[in-house]
Amino acid sequence: MPKEVITTRAKDYNQWYLDIVREADMAEMAEVVRGCIVFKANGYAIWELMQRQLDDRIKATGHQNIYFPLLIPKSFIMKEAEHVEGFAPEVAEVTRAGGEDLAEPYVIRPTSETIIGHFYSKWIRSYRDLPLLYNQWANVMRWEMRTRPFLRTSEFIWQEGHTAHATEAEAEAETLKILHEVYADFVEKVMAVPVIRGLKTEKEKFPGALRSYCIEAMMQDGRALQAGTSHNLGQNFAKAFDITFTDQNNTVQHCWTTSWGVSTRLIGALIMTHSDDEGLVLPPMLAPIQAVLVPIYKNDEERSKVMPVVERISADWKGKLRFKIDDRDNLSPGYKFNEWEMKGVPLRIEVGPKDVDKGSVALARRDIPGREGKSFVSQEGLTERMLGLFDEIQSGLYERALKFRAEHTADVSTYDELKQQIERGFARAYWAGSTEDEKRLQEETRATIRCIPLEQSGVVGTCVYTGKETGRQAIFARAY
């Protein structure tokens, strides 16, 4: 496995990404099913770790899981005006089943607001039934034109939360709670990816939402990746699906609903934030294998000297970390080192005959490639040292990504500066434009407004596009 199988980031960032997905054996394009991928074991195991930790947070904030049908009557998609515009063009339709043409086609869910709205309208009668706080883990399908593994695929896996409330304030509080306590917390602490929390513009919001909030991350090419969205749907879907309740004064009112989701695209964000030209780099909290132990020996004599130490060391790891002993006989240590580097295993431990004599091991950090990341440490206290290193690596990756983002973000005050800055990363600028202005800006720069950050200085400035005075700054970037 020569190193050149991975294109460098400098040479071709997109190819670098595809090379890592392939060489770390995370996914492959399905080809026979348009725009779909096969999630291979190394990719899916990361998703399982993400899912578990997201699910814990979703439940800790008071939600229960539930599961609605994959198929949605096509007419449902047509009921909310913006929603139909946003999703109707990209749905897959089931028109035949059980050997017969269907009277009304179904669509495979592109998202489930409509079918869930239908059931909520049956389930909710009184204010006592509220709030309804549900989430579902599901596959969804959007017939995408340009696809890329994890980042944009026709079928993807996600969670979609759907809640119903008695007041606008409660719906808004729910939308923000998910943004902060579930999404930003998970992405920053578990994925080690710093995010900007913000509001989407009218142009970029979810079709049918009143307001969409998002978290935006910066990839190593300076582009933005939307890592999660949380929508206050207002009463739009409640009106389209007749979701009403009787309040304390016996008045019938429409509910206020929310929806929010993150998907397997997070795996793409993870890859593009931390990985390097040697391959995948994973934060320990999401590494299916956190440490690999490679015994080093040249003959049976050395082998019988080394293996008992390998056994003893790994015995102490059980239940404390996720590990693998790579004792494959037909491969050289160099080949193995390379393979586990490619696959992003955070720590590598080597044990050879000399280590046995000295009571030491060689320890190599994936986040610091080469000699600099390699050290010789005592076998005594090794497990504790490794657990400490996991924490150090986890926070180190976050700090590195945060530094990178800071270095690639700049305040700009003219349109020319903005155009230059988006070649490098994020541009922050005052914005008072209309949706039409935003569309023109996108045509002219291929950048979009990623969000209006929730944190604003309050200082008034001049809109980078219209010259109007405004107190509102926005983040501009090219995006995935």
Q: Which residues bind its own copies (CB under 8 A)?
A: 30, 32-34, 36-41, 44-45, 48, 64-73, 76, 88-99, 105-106, 108, 115, 118-119, 134, 138-139, 141, 143, 145, 155, 157
At how many degrees (to 10) do helices 382-407 and 265-274 cross? 90
Least CB distance to its own copies at residue 66 (A): 5
Least CB distance to its own copies at residue 104 (A): 10
Least CB distance to its own copies at residue 207 (A): 16
What's the rounded Cα separation, in Å, for the pair 27 and 177?
Answer: 33
Least CB distance to its own copies at residue 298 (A): 23
What's the rounded Cα separation, in Å, for the pair 163 and 300?
Answer: 63
Nearer to its own copies, 336 or 405 (CB): 336
Least CB distance to its own copies at residue 22 (A): 13
Nearer to its own copies, 166 or 463 (CB): 166
* Whether the Cβ atoms of residue 372 and residue 366 lie closer than 8 Å to each other: no
Least CB distance to its own copies at residue 94 (A): 5
Nearer to its own copies, 110 or 352 (CB): 110
Collapse the DSSP code of 73 into the 3-class scheme (helix H, G, I; strand E, B; otherwise coil) and give the result.
strand
Least CB distance to its own copies at residue 32 (A): 5
Nearer to its own copies, 89 or 458 (CB): 89
Q: Which two tokens stand for residue 111?
A: 């998202």
Nearest to 94 by CA among 86, 102, 84: 102
What's the rounded Cα separation, in Å, for the pair 475 and 197?
Answer: 11
User: Nearest 5°: CA angle at 239, between 235 and 241?
Assistant: 120
Strands 64-65, 37-39: pairing is: unpaired
* Whether the Cβ atoms of residue 350 and residue 333 lie closer than 8 Å to each other: yes
Nearer to its own copies, 18 or 38 (CB): 38
Nearer to its own copies, 145 or 252 (CB): 145
What's the rounded Cα separation, in Å, for the pair 96 and 94?
Answer: 6
**Is the preceding omega at residue 89 within 30 degrees of 0, hence cis?**
no
What's the rounded Cα separation, in Å, for the pair 20 and 280?
Answer: 6
Nearer to its own copies, 73 or 369 (CB): 73
Nearer to its own copies, 68 or 404 (CB): 68
Q: Which two tokens stand for residue 303?
A: 């082998």
**Residue type at position 11:** K
Least CB distance to its own copies at residue 52 (A): 10
User: Nearest 10 degrees: CA dihedral of 375, 347, 309, 41?
Assistant: -160
Q: Which residue has the tokens 């491969």?
A: 331
Nearer to its own copies, 41 or 169 (CB): 41
**Quick one: DSSP state of residue 373?**
G
* Whether the Cβ atoms of residue 25 and residue 250 lie closer than 8 Å to each other: no
What's the rounded Cα separation, in Å, for the pair 44 and 146?
Answer: 22
Nearer to its own copies, 63 or 200 (CB): 63
Q: Which residue has the tokens 């180190």?
A: 396
Least CB distance to its own copies at residue 238 (A): 18
What's the rounded Cα separation, in Å, for the pair 271 and 227?
Answer: 13
Least CB distance to its own copies at residue 328 (A): 10
